[in-house]
């Protein structure tokens, strides 16, 4: 899978951007600025939601990068339900004002992909990890470290997009998916990993380091 070029506005959003701007222009032509103000606000919201800015990758190869923009809502020891192991879990919650492009947290090979249908409860809640619609990647680094990266749909999010399959190679910061309109990403790391974030911290995809691999 090649690196996705960054055109500022994510390709997933092009139809939504075109429709919202066309509707705002039509409302302006037919009803004037007074009637079209709401349409232009919607168009601006759609533009900011689907922004996909390029990010600088931290140089530390042993670091685990944030797979998403948002706020840290979980840093805890728990059970990895996909690899059936005890793990360090770090979760990033994305609200509707965050960029929703998902990036690989580490260099590695995708060993398996699991998709589960589910509910659409608030993604900030802990039960969203096990009850909501979700898509999980098992990534194994060249050093043999296993990382589970899970896209989780939210209350408004109704579409998880993942562009990789088992056998694909991912590079740190490489774009691999997108979730529309509010969601979260869960990372399950080895217990030897050292967390570099705390609950409440704001993070940015690729640019922020979530943990160091021990």
Q: What tens-digit pLDDT sequence spans the chain (214 residues)? A: 445 666 788 888 788 889 999 999 999 998 888 888 999 999 998 888 888 888 889 988 889 999 999 999 999 999 999 999 999 999 999 888 888 889 999 999 999 999 988 666 555 667 767 667 889 999 999 999 999 999 998 766 567 889 999 999 999 999 999 887 668 899 999 999 999 999 999 999 999 999 999 7
Would you state the pLDDT for residue 6?
A: 61
Would you state the pLDDT for residue 2?
A: 46
**Which residues are within 8 A (CB) of 77 and not within 5 positions of it... i.e. 6 or more apart?**
86, 87, 88, 89, 191
pTM of this prediction?
A: 0.84
Rounded to whole angstroms, how far apart are CA atoms 189 and 80? 9
Rounded to whole angstroms, how far apart are CA atoms 202 and 83? 28
Instruction: Name the residue ranges covered by the structural domains of the chain.
Output: 11-51, 63-212
Rounded to whole angstroms, how far apart are CA atoms 108 and 80? 19
Would you state the pLDDT for residue 19?
A: 93
pLDDT tens-digit readout, 146-201:
999 999 987 665 678 899 999 999 999 999 998 876 688 999 999 999 999 999 99
Phi, psi of 17 (to 5 degrees): -65, -45
Contact between residue 141 and residue 106 where contact means Cβ atoms under 8 Å apart: yes
Would you state the pLDDT for residue 141?
A: 96
183 is catalytic: yes
The fold adopted by the segment(s) 63-212 is Glucose Permease (Domain IIA) (2.70.70)
Would you state the pLDDT for residue 80?
A: 97
Q: Which of 66, 104, 183, 208 is catalytic?
A: 183
3-state secondary structure of 16: helix
Rounded to whole angstroms, how far apart are CA atoms 127 and 184? 12
Would you state the pLDDT for residue 153?
A: 83
């Amino acid at each position: 899978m090649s690196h996705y070029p960054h055109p500022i506005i994510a390709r997933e959003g092009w139809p939504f951007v075109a429709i919202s701007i066309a509707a705002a222009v039509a409302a302006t032509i037919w009803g004037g600025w007074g009637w079209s103000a709401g349409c232009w606000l919607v168009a601006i919201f759609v533009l900011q939601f689907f922004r996909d800015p390029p990010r600088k990758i931290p140089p530390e190869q042993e670091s685990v990068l944030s797979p998403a923009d948002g706020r840290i809502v979980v840093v805890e020891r728990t059970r990895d339900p996909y690899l059936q192991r005890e793990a360090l879990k770090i979760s990033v919650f994305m609200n509707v004002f965050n960029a929703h492009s998902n990036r690989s947290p580490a260099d590695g090979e995708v060993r398996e992909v699991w998709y589960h249908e589910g509910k659409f409860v608030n993604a900030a809640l802990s039960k969203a990890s096990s009850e909501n619609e979700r898509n999980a990647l098992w990534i194994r680094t060249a050093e043999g470290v296993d990382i589970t990266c899970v896209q989780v749909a939210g209350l408004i999010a109704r579409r998880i997009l993942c562009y990789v399959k088992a056998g694909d190679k991912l590079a740190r910061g490489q774009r691999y998916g997108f979730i529309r309109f509010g969601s979260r990403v869960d990372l399950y790391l080895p217990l030897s990993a050292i967390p570099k974030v705390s609950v409440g911290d704001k993070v940015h995809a690729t640019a922020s380091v979530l943990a160091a691999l021990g």
